[in-house]
Amino acid sequence: MIKYIEGEIYMSSGSKGFTLVELSIVMIIIGLLIGGILKGQQLIENSKINSTVSQVTAYKTAVNVFRDSFSNLPGDIFSAPSLVPNCNANTYCQGGDGNLRIGAANTGGIGSNPNGTENTQFWKHLALADLISGLAPSANPATPDWGTTFPANKFSGGFQVIFFNVPGAYYDGQYLKMRQNVTGSDAAVLGTHPINPRIASIIDARMDDANPASGSVISHDVGPGSASGCEPPLPYDTANESGNCIMLFKLDIK
């Protein structure tokens, strides 16, 4: 039995226990520890968000610099072996078809596979031109991986480039695509994508209009509809913490 006498807590054995003041101090310390952990998690999340925004901005800038330097687009440039530094068989580098589009035209949904030759060479050309970092410029595209042939994302997965030719669709055009799996189409399963709707809304608001279906930053899922929290035309469900969202960042290519 525990007894309370004159502001102190005693065990039935007679040994002296903690005073209420001591217990209060312990509770305060526990509260501070929990608060510190939560604050630390928030700082880590903010760092990942900032990193994502910085990555996308850097890649967009790199594309513009490449185009100014070589009068064509990375991945698409026909004369890459004669213009891009160290673009040769030893670095598995080759040119594209020069049609001012990166990759074959996808006419399907956002979950389409962006792993064509130009889509892969896009990143190799930028890396060989020393316009981006975080890749292995001489890596073999036949063995793709995040951080080697494609840049990794701080949340999960990484970035690829894709061209949608779907006139009238809100996602028509050329985009950087943040996705989970490095090969194949995106899984039609909720919880298997890089970020949740709350974080997607923060990134969208910071870079664009916070609308998943408009502007230069859009979002989608390939799962079961509105349950994802990032399914246009509905707004982001900022209470949803499941990894349901694929994000697209439009490249300024005309």
- DSSP 8-state symbol, 244: -
Residue 106 near residue 162, CB atoms below 8 Å? yes
Q: Is residue 26 part of a domain?
A: no
**Mean residue pLDDT across the chain:** 88
Crossing angle (nearest 10°) for helices 197-207 and 20-70: 50
Higher pLDDT, 152 or 39: 152
Let me know if residue 160 belongs to a domain: yes
Cα–Cα distance, 20 to 14 (Å, whole number) = 17
- In a domain, residue 203? The reply is yes
Q: Residue 6 falls within a domain, yes or no?
A: no
Per the structure, how many domains does the chain have?
1
Domain extent for 131: 47-250
- Return the pLDDT at 226: 61
pLDDT at 4: 47
Q: Rounded to whole angstroms, how far apart are CA atoms 131 and 67?
A: 11
Q: Quickly count: other Cβ atoms within 10 Å of residue 224's Cβ.
A: 12
In a domain, 16, yes or no: no
Answer whether residue 2 shows pLDDT above 50: no
17 Cβ contact list (under 8 Å, min separation 6) = 2, 8, 9, 10, 11
Residue 60 within a domain: yes
13 within a domain of the structure (yes/no): no
Whole-number pLDDT of residue 90:
97
- Residue 225 identity (one-letter amino acid): G
Specify if 25 maps to a domain.
Answer: no
SS3 17: strand
Map tokens 């690829």 to a residue.
160
With a cut of 70, say whether residue 28 has pLDDT above it. yes
